[in-house]
Structure 1
Amino acid sequence: MFWTVVSEQLDAGISAGGRGRLLAVLRDRFPAHHLFGGPARLPPGPRLPARPIREMIDPFDLEVHPAIDAGAAAEGLPPLPRYVLREHDHELRVIVARAAEGASGIAVLVGGSSTGKTRACWEAIQSLPDEWRLWHPINPGRVEAALDELPRIGPRTVIWLNETQHYLLTTPPEVGERVAAGLRELLRDPDRQPVLILGTLWPDYWETITIRPGAGQPDLHTQARDLVTDADIPLPDAFSGQAFSALRGAASGDPRLADAATHAVDGQITQYLAGAPELLARYRNALPAARALIEAAMDARRFGHGHALPHQLLEAAAPGYLTDQEWDSLDDDWFARALTYTAASCRGACGPLTAIRPRPGQPAPQKPYYRLADYLEQHGRVVRRTQWAPAALWDALVAHAAPDDTLQIAVSADQRRLDRCAFPLFTRAAEAGDKSAALRLVQMLARRRDLDGLQARADAGDGYARAQLTHLLARNGDEDAERNLRDRADARDRHAAFELINLLGGRGDLDELRTRADAGSDFATIELFNRLLERGEQEEAERFLRERVASGSKIAARALVEHLVGRGADQEAERILRADPNADEFSTLRLYSLLAERGDQEAEQLLRTQADDGDPGAHFLLINLLARRGEAEELLTRARQGDQGAAATVAYRLVENGHDEEAEPFLRDLADANIGLGPTMLADLLARRGDLDGLQERVALGNAYAAGPLADLLEQRGDHDEAARLRRFGFNADGSIATSDMD
């Protein structure tokens, strides 16, 4: 009550920021029991997760990279080199200053490894008033800490999200979305203002969060994208111009800066200070055992393992990176000596692979965990991008991967058709309750026609597995299975309904499809329409859809509109859209696109506005409009700016017109992001020009669509045995063609 009264008395003439700072000072200097002449009677509240900012005196606690030494310790200099301001620092400090004045804000520094992101944040918060606190959620895990403690974060708090991808790009993605939603709510909660969110991201993580998915692709990062959009502050990879001149001036008092100014390549000062050249030299010049250890860590990270790599995983995987001769030459303590080599500091910075030291209060594991240096991780993602990983690594990942990383590693294995690895990993994640893993597991079992595996999943209560199982059995003529499928479809089991419609369509049972469509099944409506078109019965197909539209079917109206547009009957499509009294948002946007195609500028502007505001339906229709009008220049501009829908359209048109060379860069981007037909079209392009190496590279990257064209090419070159084995079994973990058992 006292503080409420004081707050009300101060409202008259002090700004929000000033009032907040004054109240904080009063609280600190005059605790409640002093003001009321005795001990406070209220029980103490829960301990705040944030710590006073002035207690955060060690930058390394906040994950600032150590720097090379270069003789600085002998001269008694501080652990970090003198700081040289650059353009991004000024932008960041404006946001920090606004927070100090009472306005909540967020800044996400985006740059490559060791470009100075975390150090810039550390330097910027030094200007905050003493009453501010800092929250660095890491224990027991970053995401767990964020979800648990976020509701208790109060005003004047810095939320320190170094390596923000660990909080927002989670497996499953729903967890990261919960964190992002909580942070968005924190920013707009008037009772907890001001707060300051500081994050750091590599550019590829920024792209993953912020690029909108193409039409038909799931949007996994809506909350995260809304959180960070327009909050990015890009960092350059190098010092140049005035920044480099300022660096030379500061170097006179710091041997580390002097060393970097003299020896750093292309102005990459921060990378040099973090020991990047020495890290690369240590990796390139390593003896076979140490090199194998580093490459095993690189591959484990690129296939989805978290940064904490178990001792057992590395010990089991590293031998797979050694030749028989190298392995035979090792002595019994080879692994320990390799770890000693990789752990040695690089001119004062951390070595290539270092043990993670448990913090006070954390239980010490029986065997240590290790972390790969960020710069080497990024380097490995580039230089080992198309390298085969040995079977020993995949076996080690199956046996020793951390539970939180299981699903992502399973996806990587499944993309490479490594069923013997993907199966146990998906199973483990599914049994732990991960719905995404359960779905992928059932898809794998169905692909292999594994009835026993599907039955086991169905017996465990998996409805999707039951639907897949009964569908497979029904296709094989099992009457009981078909009866079961019908019963569950009639009981409104969507999985069963979908599989039943597929079954009916496959056998050409149009009568039952019509019956189920008339009963309201959207699945049956679309299936029957497509089957009628396949049989050349266009008039009957259109008559059927019009009947369903008259009965109020939204899916029939949408299908009819697209069919009419496809055969040039745009005006009739417009009439259908205008006549719908309950048109949804997409139908309205579709009408705008048709009007825009006829030259209606107002309709086109409405469509563009919706698309620019992030509406995926409007974006899809705008790209389609540009393609139909032949607006090649705008499509190219959008594609080059990262618009994946535009890139897909450009690529498809170029391929249709025989311009494979121009289409290839767009197709590669689409294939890398696994968007639309990008993976398939790139594989076809490589096959057309007989690029055996290119197809093998795509398979190594997990593009299963490249396996068929590769087999065709092998066959054309006379390698019939290898082609046959590839068609039957796929690729093994070491790049050889072999069976993919699920044991």
Structure 2
Amino acid sequence: MAENEISGGSLANVVQAREVHQLTINAPAETAIPRYLRDPSRWPLAREWGALSAGVHKARPGEGGSRLPLYVPRDIDAPLRERIAQGDFVLVVGDSTSGKTRAAFEAVRKVFPGHRVLVPPIGSCLSQAPDTVEHSGLSSVVWLDDLEKYLVPGGLEPEVLADFIQTGTPVVATMRLKAYETYTDEHDSGTGSQVLRVAEIFDLHRLWSDAELSRAADCGDSRILDAFAHHALFGVAEYLAAGPALLQEWQRAHSIHGHARGAALVAAAVDLARTGLRAPWSRALLAELHERYLAAAGGAVLRPESLDAAFDWASRIRFGVTSLLLPAHDDARGEWWGPFDYLVDQTDSKIPSEIWQAALVHANEETDLLAISKNAFDTAPQIAERSLRPLAANGRRTSAFNLGFLLNRQGREAEARQWWTAAADAGLGRAALRLALLDARVGAPAESHKWCTRAISYGPADISEQAAKLLDALHDE
């Protein structure tokens, strides 16, 4: 093979032969483009985009059967819209049914009415999305409702977010408060926490301010006026979404004259969600796990209904809004279910060990193991360790760091050092800093100096700064 001159140029890698009996030409393989990125002109225009499509909770039906009440301006609207207009990565954080998705939705439509809205499907790869937006020539905004579902390998990783920012593509996201808190623990140095550090955070409170309540009272929508009448206990948005009513019905259903089996099914689904295992789950799994809750509530004494009746009760639509259990889909393997997320946010009881075990057994992907490890870290450390070990062993440096943190907290310092070393050798600055601090404490300045130097070179900036201070202190001794 050699380069060959031709008229007007040259050809490289030309094969010359006296005879060619068979020739196969393989075209370079092209990376498959995800379906959602193939035609940006089909992405919805913000001014024509539907709130329910954006993820806004349904409300109690109004006059004419409307599912969407009038929007009552929130106190964060002006600064939120200003930040979105600047093209920042903006994240609205709040409890389930606090109104965060509606506030962000209205902001996007107000600020960028002519932009196309890119809504990546859950679980899709985002690596090609920035280039697609840039090459389309269309003004676009990225919408990530329930951001935690995108903080997974192949999702909104720091490099993808940096590409969006570099191309001037605004990214607007929402996140439930409990999910946000799992990514901002002191021990978390994963890609999710790195992404959140870049975000402009806007907190939206469940209970409305006096100014917001005043605007609600003047809006003229009967549903909002009804919600306003209950604001002493509940937020207006959560009342509109029927959250408190469904929670109370579930809590009352454990009685002998209630729906004890249905309540137990809901309890199993709620606690599975709280472990971090992603919904939906099979009918068979909920049927298996709910027996533990039914027995704890009283078992046969409660005269529980049949399993079919229990599923029928739990999935019945209330107030024309939602149900306690949400059907996902039916397939050859049967029915699949998930819980109403308001119930998940309002539950803080101890998760039974059987549910943690089931979550580990049914964690099919790395994403599930990561979520389980985060949710179990403080309350079920043995489960956290079991979920972190396979990830750390497969070279996930953040998981190795978190495993070291967990083991060190239990007094297993030698094991912690092993995993921190693995994470530091993979280039994680936070792990190198931990080793530097550990060696400084045990009187090994030369080793501490080595790890400080590596932590400074790895970064990020806050880690480099801490390592530099420790290095100065070592030199002063």
TM-score, length-scaled by structure 2: 0.69
Q: Hey, what does 2:82 align to over in structure 1?
A: 94
Name 2:246's counterpart in structure 1: 279
Alignment-mate amino acid for residue 198 of structure 1: V
Distance 1:338 1:614, change over 3 A: farther
Choose between structure 1 and 2: higher helix proportion. 1
Q: Which has the larger radius of gyration?
A: 1
1:19-168 alignment to 2 at 5 Å? 46-48=38-40, 51-53=43-45, 56-69=48-61, 72=62, 75-76=63-64, 78-96=66-84, 98=85, 103-127=86-110, 131-138=114-121, 142-154=122-134, 155-168=138-151
Distance 1:206 1:53, change over 3 A: same
1:386-401 alignment runs, 5 A limit: 387-389=350-352, 391=354, 393-394=355-356, 396-401=358-363
**Which amino acid is 1:53 matched to?**
L
Please state how far the C-alpha of 1:130 moved relative to its aligned partner: 5.8
1: CA distance between counterparts of 2:226 and 2:212? 16
| Structure 1 residue 152 displacement after superposition | 1.1
Cα 1:244–1:402, aligned 2, differ >3 Å: closer, same or farther? same
* Cα contact 1:68–1:256 (8 A) shared by 2: yes
The yes-or-no answer on 1:618 pairing with 2:468 is no
Aligned counterpart, 2:272: 300
CA contact (8 A) 1:135 1:157 kept: yes
The answer to whether the aligner puts 1:311 opposite 2:283 as a matched pair is yes
SS at match of 1:83: coil
| Structure 2 letter corresponding to 1:93 | R
Shift of 1:164: 1.0
Residues 1:201 and 2:175 are matched in the alignment: yes
Give 1:198 deviation, angstroms. 1.0
| Equivalent residue in structure 2 for 1:242, among 211, 229, 233 | 211
Distance 1:350 1:223 in 2: 35
Q: Classify the secondary structure of the residue corresponding to 2:346.
A: helix
Give the conservation status (yes or no) of the 8 Å contact 2:327–2:335: yes
Provide, for residues 431-489 of structure 1, a one-character-per-residue CA deviation record: whole Å limited to 9, x for no partner: 9x67479969x99xx9xxxxxxxxxxxxxxxxx9xx99xxxxxxxxxxxxxxxxxxxxx
Amino acid at match of 1:243: E
Q: Which residue of 2 aligns with 1:730?
A: none
Query: Equivalent residues in 2 for 1:575-590 (5 A)?
Result: none
CA contact (8 A) 1:407 1:437 kept: no
Task: Give 1:182's aligned residue.
Answer: 160
Pairing 1:555–2:452 present: no
* Alpha-carbon shift at residue 181 of structure 1 (Å): 2.1
Residues 50 and 153, structure 1, Cα contact 8 Å, conserved in 2: no
Query: Deviations along 1:584-639, whole A, 9 cap, x unmatched?
Result: 59899xxxxxxxxxxxxxxxxxxxxx9xx9523535787999xxxxxxxxxxxxxx
SS of the equivalent of 2:127 reads helix
CA distance in 2, matches of 1:366, 1:350: 25
1:227 alignment counterpart: 198
**Cα shift at 1:333:** 7.0
Gaps of 5+ in 1: 1-44, 359-363, 447-463, 469-493, 499-522, 534-540, 546-553, 560-582, 589-609, 626-743
Residue 31 of structure 2 corresponds to none
Instruction: Choose which of 221, 227, 233 in structure 2 pairs with 1:260.
Output: 227
Using the alignment, how far apart are the partners of 2:270 and 2:327 within structure 1? Answer: 15
Instruction: Find the aligned partners of 2:222 and 2:123 in 1 and give their Cα distance.
Output: 39
Contact 2:46–2:117 (CA under 8 A) maintained in structure 1: no
Cα-to-partner distance string for 1:651-705 (whole Å, 9 max, x where unaligned): xxxxxxxxxxxxxxxxxxxxxxxxxxxxxxxxxxxxxxxxxxxxxxxxxxxxxxx
**Alignment partner, residue 290 of structure 1:** 262
* CA-CA distance at 1:199 after TM superposition: 0.6
Aligned equivalents of 1:614, 1:268: Cα separation in 2: 40
State the distance in 1 between where 2:463 and 2:226 align: 50
**Relative to total residues, which structure has the larger strand share, 1 or 2?**
2
In structure 1, distance between residues paired with 2:247 and 2:294: 20
Compute the RMSD of aligned alpha carbons: 4.6
| Distance in 2 between residues matched to 1:132 and 1:113, nearest whole Å | 27
How far the C-alpha of 1:260 sits from its partner, in A, is 0.6
Return the letter of the residue paired with 1:289. Answer: R
Separation in 1, partners of 2:93, 2:374: 27
Q: CA deviation at 1:67?
A: 0.8
In structure 2, the CA distance between the partners of 1:354 and 1:165, relative to structure 1 (3 Å rule), is same
How far does residue 112 in structure 1 lie from its aligned partner after superposition? Answer: 1.5
Paired letter, 2:129: E
Match of 2:327 in 1: 355
Q: Find the counterpart in structure 2 of residue 504 from structure 1.
A: none
Q: Indicate the residue corresponding to 2:306 in structure 1.
A: 334
**Is the 1:312–1:400 contact (alpha carbons within 8 Å) kept by the matching residues of 2?**
no
Q: Cα gap change, 1:281/1:225 in structure 2, threshold over 3 Å: closer, same or farther?
A: closer
Which residue in 1 is equivalent to 2:292?
A: 320
- 1:368 correspondence with 2:335: yes
By how many angstroms is 1:134 displaced? Answer: 0.8
Distance 1:295 1:267, change over 3 A: closer
C-alpha contact 2:275 2:356 (8 A) present in aligned 1: no
TM-superposed CA distance for 1:280, in Å, is 1.4
Contact 1:429 1:438 in 2 (8 A): yes
**Aligned pair count?**
401
Q: Distance in 2 between matches of 1:106 and 1:325?
A: 46
Q: What secondary structure is seen at the aligned counterpart in 1 of 2:56?
A: coil
Higher relative contact order (CA 8 A, sep 6+): 2
Which of 345, 357, 366 is the equivalent residue of 1:378?
345
Distance 1:438 1:225 in 2: 18
Q: 1:249 to 1:426 in 2, by over 3 A?
A: closer
Shift of 1:114: 0.9
- The whole-number CA distance in structure 2 between the counterparts of 1:436 and 1:162 is 28
Counterpart AA for 1:144: S
SS in 1 for 2:334: coil
Q: Shift of residue 166 of structure 1? A: 1.5
Matched to 2:75, the amino acid is: E
- 1:121 Cα offset (Å): 1.9
By how many angstroms is 1:430 displaced?
A: 8.6
**1:241 aligned partner, one-letter code:** D
TM-score (norm. length: structure 1): 0.46
**CA distance in 1 between partners of 2:375 and 2:205 (Å):** 31
Q: Distance in 2 between matches of 1:439 and 1:623?
A: 23
